[in-house]
Amino acid sequence: FPPTLCNCLADYPPAETGGLTCHLTIPLQSSNSSSWPLASTNMLGALVLAYPSPPRISTLQRRQLRWLGEGMAAVLEIVSLQYQSQTYAVQNAFLVLLARLVNEYRQSDALFSQILEQTLPLFNAIAGVIWLLSEDGRRLERAAHLSTLGYTLYQQPARRPADGGIAGRVIQNRRTVQLSVPTDDPHFDPLLDGLDSLGPYTLLAVPLQYRDTVVGMLSLYARNPRYFSPQNVLLLESITSLTASAIIHMQLVQKLRDYGRQKTVLYEMGQQISTTLNLSITLRRTLQWTARLTGTELGLLWLVESKQEHHPFRLAAVMGVHLPPEQEIFFEPERDRSAIALQKREAVLFNTLTGDTHADATLRRLLQPPPRNLIAAPIIYREQTIGLIELFDKSNGPFTEEDRSLLTTALKMAALAIGNAYLHNRTLNLLDERHHLQRQIIQSERLATLGRLTAALAHEINNPMQAIQGALMLALEELDNPAELETYLNLGLEESQRVIDLVHRMRQIYRPVPTRPEQVDVNRILQSALNLAQKELKRRHVTPCTDLATDLPRTTAVADQLHLVFLSLLLNLGEAIGEGGSALHIRTRADADTDAILITFAADVPAAAAGRLTSLISPSSAPTLPLETNLSFGLSFSRDLVAAHNGRLDVRLEEGHVACTIHLPIQR
């Protein structure tokens, strides 16, 4: 519109108008002419000149005033463009600064604080809050907050539902929300969104969103009637997008760090639990490491107890619980909560525990106060459940699916160590039982050997006893002749010594002095056994013929066991030969090729005896074979003792000739 002269204040008192009752209004609006190329057709304002009386303004002056208005409009437009340019420059500088902060700050708390400190002055806001979504997406957790001029934001809870209040509207719709009067919004929740300490305020809430992923929300508060401009909204959305990208990056880095830490812990766990085959140590270490992985404070480890029919699981290891000494506690699958893990054969989470977790009264007293949460998982070894682990009271919140996956992986690795230690423990028990049975068999063989020697030994004892009796009777007759008396007494002493030596040798068979492996002379042991069996062989008309190598090396062995082997073979072969008057050839020599001592017992046997010996050997076996369980008890017993010395016993039977050869390695 053209410059307009108005005398609209003529009726007002001079005291109120100052005598300036006539106003000349000049519009600040550019024309469409090319004389002002930077100007637009927008109305930017008006220039008002006041006069005490209507002035005289010529046509030229009016044209000049119009040009003045157009010129001032162009100047204002240039200033506006400069301001916008400066604003864009500041915004770009802020985004660059924010990107630098994202790269510099590795801790989320420090980064969020810096973002709020830089954002609030830029938008003239009086307060700001950053909310982050929880892992399950069900809650918003306050990550950082900042206020100016003493305003407080603690009226809002630190955690809130992700679908409640104005924040729920922002998160669900993934759109920016600007409210000049938040309390009038239908989604407003006084308990979640109320900030009475600010008074009237404007709210700008922007989702922290990068591409299609929402990780939280940024809220800014300003005093009324402050309203955020569209440019401010766009800038804040750029800030939140960059912030969301940084959060996702930090979460990914943290997951990678956690993954690396978990792999390191799993590796260390594998190293520690696999270095021992002691079952109790393996169980204790497994419980400690799994508790460390899941961040739990209490732990129980149950192991299969095959001896118990109704309660197959026994408490084998504990952590954080003082178990009374020498008290066994059993798991009751039909009554205990963790039995569902055994049924499903997988880890089970209980983040809310109500009632008793175990039926055993002693265990309930030990688990006081009652645990908050529980994760239970079976221990499976070669498709068989061998145990159960229970971990209570996670220190940093509820159990997650990540805890379940991590525990499952750890137990797969631990099950191998536990299973191996369990088998090792059973093997040791079986070896102890076998050793006990072997001792019983050896003792039985000793008694059997002693029984077979009883007749010969009785004759051996009877002869010197009769000599002693005769010497004593003659000594009584020569009491007045000291020389004769001494002769008869010495004769009695010599015969009594024979009895003592014989009884000592018998005792060595029945109850030998425990000895350890030592360097022994095989020829000497063989000769001692031959002396004991001499009478029995003579009674059966068996003539022993010895060919003992004089240069036979010594070897490491248990002397009394070799003595028993030699004696058993002598008696067994003597009995097999019968009373046919055959010779029993006994030979020793050193075999340089095998670095062993060979002891051979050979004889010709009658046809009947050869048939009995043949029936002891499997028809499909070769004539020469290591002794197996198909042979007689005495030979099998001898085989076991020889095998305990890392040797072997071979039996050869050819056309009425039998040969038993002991291969005893030379151990220096």
**Is the model's pLDDT at 120 over the cut of 90?**
no
| Tens digits of residue pLDDT in 415-434 | 888 888 888 888 888 888 87
The predicted pLDDT at position 38 comes to 45
Distance, CA of 187 to CA of 168 (rounded, Å): 8
Contact between residue 342 and residue 388 where contact means Cβ atoms under 8 Å apart: yes
518 phi/psi in degrees, rounded to 5: -150, 170
Type and span of the H or E element at 127: strand 127-133
Distance, CA of 484 to CA of 486 (rounded, Å): 5
Contact between residue 70 and residue 63 where contact means Cβ atoms under 8 Å apart: no
Pairing of strands 583-591, 543-548: parallel
The predicted pLDDT at position 493 comes to 84
11 phi/psi in degrees, rounded to 5: -85, -5
DSSP state of 511: S
Angle made by CA atoms 618, 624, 626, in degrees to the nearest 5:
75
Q: Kindly list the structural domains of the chain, giving each domain's residue range(s) and its CATH number in brackets, ordered by start.
A: 4-84 (no CATH), 105-254 (3.30.450.40), 281-413 (3.30.450.40), 516-665 (3.30.565.10)
Contact between residue 380 and residue 415 where contact means Cβ atoms under 8 Å apart: yes
Model confidence band, residue 505 (pLDDT cutoffs 50, 70, 90): low
Distance, CA of 491 to CA of 485 (rounded, Å): 10
Pairing of strands 139-147, 583-591: unpaired
Residue type, 637: F
**Is the model's pLDDT at 332 over the cut of 90?**
no
The predicted pLDDT at position 614 comes to 52
Contact between residue 240 and residue 209 where contact means Cβ atoms under 8 Å apart: yes
Instruction: Find the mean pLDDT for residues 551-566.
Output: 86
For residue 218, give both structure tokens.
């940024």
Distance, CA of 62 to CA of 27 (rounded, Å): 12
Residue 422 burial (CB count, 10 A) = 20
As a dihedral over the C-alpha atoms of residue 427, residue 428, residue 430, residue 435, rounded to 10 degrees, the angle is 140
Instruction: Find the mean pLDDT for residues 554-576.
Output: 83
The predicted pLDDT at position 19 comes to 73
Beta-sheet strands, E only, within 336-408: 348-350, 374-381, 384-394
Three-state helix/strand/coil letters over 34-82: CCCCCCCCCEEEEEEEEECCCCCCCHHHHHHHHHHHHHHHHHHHHHHHH
Contact between residue 200 and residue 180 where contact means Cβ atoms under 8 Å apart: no
**Is the model's pLDDT at 353 over the cut of 90?**
no
Contact between residue 286 and residue 422 where contact means Cβ atoms under 8 Å apart: no
Beta-sheet strands, E only, within 348-487: 348-350, 374-381, 384-394
As a dihedral over the C-alpha atoms of residue 186, residue 189, residue 193, residue 194, rounded to 10 degrees, the angle is 110
Identify the residue with better confidence: 657 or 376: 376
Identify the residue with better confidence: 196 or 80: 80
Identify the residue with better confidence: 513 or 350: 350
Lowest-confidence region among 129-143, 267-281, 308-322, 517-531 = 308-322
The predicted pLDDT at position 632 comes to 47
Residue 291 burial (CB count, 10 A) = 21
Residue 399, classed as helix, strand or coil, is: coil
Contact between residue 525 and residue 566 where contact means Cβ atoms under 8 Å apart: yes
Instruction: Find the mean pLDDT for residues 438-447.
Output: 68
Contact between residue 330 and residue 336 where contact means Cβ atoms under 8 Å apart: no
The reply to whether the predicted model has a pTM over 0.75 is no
Three-state helix/strand/coil letters over 148-174: CCCCCCCCCCCEEECCCHHHHHHHHHC
Model confidence band, residue 630 (pLDDT cutoffs 50, 70, 90): very low
**Is the model's pLDDT at 292 over the cut of 80?**
yes
**Is the model's pLDDT at 616 over the cut of 60?**
no
The predicted pLDDT at position 598 comes to 94
Contact between residue 584 and residue 601 where contact means Cβ atoms under 8 Å apart: yes
